[in-house]
Amino acid sequence: MSNRKKLVLIGNGMAGVRAVEHLLKLAPDAYDITIFGAEPHPNYNRIMLSSVLVGGADMKEIVINDWDWYKDNGIRLYTGHTVTKIDIEGKRVRSDRGAEASYDKLIIATGSNPFMLPLPGADKEGVIAFRDMKDCETMIETAKTYKKAAVIGGGLLGLEAARGLLHLGMDVTVVHKHPYLMERQLDAPAAAMLQTELEAQGMKFLLSKNTAAITGKKRVKGLTFSDGSQLETDLVVMAVGIRPNVSLAKAHGIDINLGIVVNDYMETNIPDIYAVGECVEHRGVAYGLVAPLYEQGDVLAKRLAGIETKGYEGSVTSTKLKVSGVNVFSAGQFRDVPGTRALRIQDEVEGIYKKIVIQDGKLIGAVLFGDTADGASLFSMIRKGENIAGKEKEILLGFAPGGAEQSPDARIEAMPDDEIVCGCNGVSKAAIVDAIKTKGCVTASAVKACTKASASCGGCKGLVEGLVRVYAGDAAGEAVKEGICGCTPLSRDEIVAEIKRMGLKSIREVMNVLEWREPEGCSKCRPSLNYYLGMLWPTEYKDEKESRFTNERYHANIQKDGTYSVVPRIYGGVTSPGELKRIATVAEKYNVPLVKITGGQRIDLLGVKKEDLPSMWEDLDMPSGHAYGKTLRTVKTCVGSTFCRFGTQDSMAMGIKLEKAFERLNTPAKVKLAVSGCPRNCAEATIKDFGVVAIDGGWELHVGGNGGVHVRATDLLCVVKTEEEVLEWSSAFLQYYRENAQWNERTSTWIERVGLDSVKKALEKREDRLALVERINTTLSQMKDPWKEIINNEELRKNFEPIRDAQPIG
């Protein structure tokens, strides 16, 4: 019986699922998790709905966690279910469709509802909010038939809806009760500049207007205002704010005010019931921005994981967004109030406005319009409460008065390493620079996939692009060299991320969806895609033989004269008289010109004709030695304690266990192992991809060696005591390498690229190692000796011809 506790999350939105994501990292085995979501979709980025409207993304692209994520993490998901009943005594919840789940801990993350003005006619067809995917779909469909749209609300959400409707070809008027736009984020001068920009795009505005009624019969026909004026329209989008969705909590005795009242650990007044996100009120404040909600979720996750943490103390908020193509940033208290001083510059020619607000020598607020490059550094100063006395003009201008103006790149370089670039996901400059320099993330998309910077609201995308430009240098924007080619600009990380996110299951599908320049690909990208798909979907993907090199297709090394060499598997270099006789008989039968003992303690039969390969493997009746592909080649051993007077452990038995464990395992590049029975290292374990060296009472595990052209000695990974630990660590290491290395990247270059410390950190927790072991075992369970298929399938034998001209592979 599982000793896991039961966790139920009501709400499948960004805040609640973020808490679950963090919890799974902190305590992956602590809870059995059930999630109820009212919408029929997996978790998606609500902030990116406006990008869907303007054509910058489709519905699939804004999904944060796809269906497979829930399955992979063992989460029971009910979509299209609204929870209507909480049995607090019995600790159970029930949905409107009859689904039930019991809980030990319950999270309420019901989010918020759009506020719909209680106007006469608000129930007519064509009156909607802008809150979810369904609203987006309604706008897109309406634009196909109707031409006039009115958006009530000139805040951020209303302007994004209006921009989307303009893109859809509609005539759009924004109605706003305030005298200027985005009054919560901008002051009057910045708002006026924004209005000018948006009017140039075709948007119309009615400011200081109060809507009195919505006219029409069944469907909306127009708006009537309190001053008696009217506006014809076919669609009304209300974007006048949100209200915390507290109805479920209120019905079950949970304390509410503006929202569900929580303490600093997101606990409600009912034991074991927590709340997080837009439905919450904390210290009298309800937040509607992503960054504070993610901060709440991280605190809640630590609480549920039993990790001591400082409570949530509230957030200083900032907004950095591209509003209809215009960069806008605001943070803190940016309005002029008694006791504050403000400095501002305004350039209407260049379309730039900057303002900072100071109180008691500290920066407390800022507004930027047009040029938001300094937003992150300003926000950092506001959060830290830095004293800026005497530096006000330098901070506003970006350079000291009288000095030369810093370039954008120079300002980026001058940013402190701990400065937060992506407030939504808490990603610092240092984390992004590390991803660029050590993980090969040389495009903004790759940085997003690796760090999540710009993955939520997208407001920091410009700064992320700047960091890539500065720290990737000449490589910025270029695809990484290993594993991809001229058929696509995408890097390895981008390709793998997109395959996972969109559930792509075939090479053809990847090339179509990711818009390959060459529809058939080439000899570089096809093998890499074949590997990535097999690595990601070991139980579903069918290996595409035609995308493998000649050597791997035929399990024989093509020689310069067009013949092949065949190497059967000899585990650990240990054979028997029967095996030797069989090999000798086959060599005579097929007139093999040369029989050679290899450096990997096996026997190589050279000079074999291609047409003889299927029959030869049938006669050998031995596993392929895989001496030809990107897979486990050999496990070299010495005789160890079985015969050697210096041996401290049974290296032969250990080598055979490793070889039998990992034979047929596909890897990014060829992999060689070795086991030495003592530190004299006769098996040369310290120049192998994974080397095991016996010592008194245990084993040293070495990684990242290479005995090729560029010799590299291994790094010591760890020391273990038992054979079971050797198998556990070797499995975890190989799977981590499989999942993170670029295609055709040996462990030696991979270790140098990512650093030994990062590998050690990834493997230090046993639960993480066991998860890797489980994934490699899943892959290994699907592996079969390919010659068994050919031998037992007459059709395959009959058609045993190369799909492309066989060429020696260099």
Share of the chain above pLDDT 70, in %: 88
* Confidence at residue 200, expressed as pLDDT on a 0 to 100 scale: 85
* Confidence at residue 558, expressed as pLDDT on a 0 to 100 scale: 67
Least trusted range by pLDDT, from 363-367, 486-490, 494-498, 791-795: 791-795
Asked if pLDDT for residue 186 goes beyond 70, the answer is: yes
Share of the chain above pLDDT 90, in %: 41
Task: Give the confidence band of 351 by pLDDT, cuts at 50, 70, 90.
Answer: confident
Measured distance CA(306)–CA(329) in Å, rounded:
37
Amino acid sitting at position 191: A
Task: Give the confidence band of 240 by pLDDT, cuts at 50, 70, 90.
Answer: very high
* Confidence at residue 698, expressed as pLDDT on a 0 to 100 scale: 92
* Confidence at residue 400, expressed as pLDDT on a 0 to 100 scale: 53
Q: What are the structural domains of the chain?
A: 5-112+244-305 (3.50.50.60), 127-240 (3.50.50.60), 318-405 (3.30.390.30), 444-547 (no CATH), 550-624 (3.90.480.10), 632-782 (3.30.413.10)
Q: How do residues 443-489 score in pLDDT, each as one tens digit?
A: 887 888 778 787 766 667 778 888 888 888 777 764 433 336 667 77
Phi, psi of 176 (to 5 degrees): -140, 135
DSSP result, 185-239: T--HHHHHHHHHHHHHTT-EEEES--EEEEEESSBEEEEEETTS-EEE-SEEEE-
pTM beyond cutoff 0.75: no
Task: Give the confidence band of 320 by pLDDT, cuts at 50, 70, 90.
Answer: low
Q: Determine contact, residues 396/440, Cβ cutoff 8 Å.
A: no
Q: How do residues 508-566 score in pLDDT, each as one tens digit?
A: 888 888 877 766 776 678 888 888 888 899 888 887 766 666 566 666 766 656 677 77
Average pLDDT, the chain: 85
Q: Give the residue with greater pLDDT, 572 vs 646.
A: 646
Q: Give the residue with greater pLDDT, 349 vs 142.
A: 142
Q: Determine contact, residues 226/119, Cβ cutoff 8 Å.
A: no
β-pairing, 5-10 vs 105-108, is parallel
Cα 464 versus chain centre, distance:
16
* Confidence at residue 325, expressed as pLDDT on a 0 to 100 scale: 64
- For residue 368, what are its two tokens? 């930027």
* Confidence at residue 801, expressed as pLDDT on a 0 to 100 scale: 45
- For residue 468, what are its two tokens? 């890539």
Instruction: List Cα–Cα distances, 128 to 51, 80, 140, 182, 241, in angstroms.
Output: 18, 20, 13, 21, 13
* Confidence at residue 36, expressed as pLDDT on a 0 to 100 scale: 97
Task: Give the confidence band of 329 by pLDDT, cuts at 50, 70, 90.
Answer: confident
Pick the closest to residue 155 from 189, 173, 180, 122 (CA basis).
180
Kindly state the average pLDDT of the residues 640-653: 85
Asked if pLDDT for residue 116 goes beyond 80, the answer is: yes
Measured distance CA(234)–CA(36) in Å, rounded:
35
Kindly state the average pLDDT of the residues 164-170: 89
Q: How do residues 194-229 score in pLDDT, each as one tens digit?
A: 999 899 888 999 999 999 999 999 999 999 999 999
Task: Give the confidence band of 409 by pLDDT, cuts at 50, 70, 90.
Answer: confident
Instruction: List Cα–Cα distances, 199 to 125, 193, 313, in angstroms.
Output: 28, 10, 41
What is the DSSP code (8-state) at residue 602?
-
Q: What is the dihedral of CA 190, 194, 196, 197, to 10 degrees?
A: 140
Q: How do residues 592-639 score in pLDDT, each as one tens digit?
A: 887 877 767 778 888 888 778 778 878 888 877 776 778 888 889 888
* Confidence at residue 810, expressed as pLDDT on a 0 to 100 scale: 27
> Which H/E stretch holds residue 536?
helix 525-536
Q: Give the residue with greater pLDDT, 599 vs 328.
A: 328
* Confidence at residue 805, expressed as pLDDT on a 0 to 100 scale: 32
Kindly state the average pLDDT of the residues 361-377: 86
Q: Give the residue with greater pLDDT, 55 vs 85.
A: 85
Task: Give the confidence band of 59 by pLDDT, cuts at 50, 70, 90.
Answer: low
Q: Give the residue with greater pLDDT, 321 vs 544.
A: 544
* Confidence at residue 621, expressed as pLDDT on a 0 to 100 scale: 81
Measured distance CA(472)–CA(450) in Å, rounded:
15
Q: Determine contact, residues 727/748, Cβ cutoff 8 Å.
A: no
* Confidence at residue 89, expressed as pLDDT on a 0 to 100 scale: 95
Asked if pLDDT for residue 283 goes beyond 50, the answer is: yes
* Confidence at residue 324, expressed as pLDDT on a 0 to 100 scale: 60
Q: Give the residue with greater pLDDT, 360 vs 395.
A: 360
Asked if pLDDT for residue 230 goes beyond 90, the answer is: yes
Cβ burial 39-66 (10 Å sphere, 16+ → b, else e): bebbbbbbbbbbbbbbeebeeeebbbbb
Phi, psi of 715 (to 5 degrees): -105, 145
Q: Is 734 exposed, middle or buried (0-12, 13-18, 19+ CB in 10 A)?
A: buried
Q: Determine contact, residues 691/767, Cβ cutoff 8 Å.
A: no
* Confidence at residue 407, expressed as pLDDT on a 0 to 100 scale: 64
Tally of helices (H runs) and strands (E runs) in the chain: 27, 36
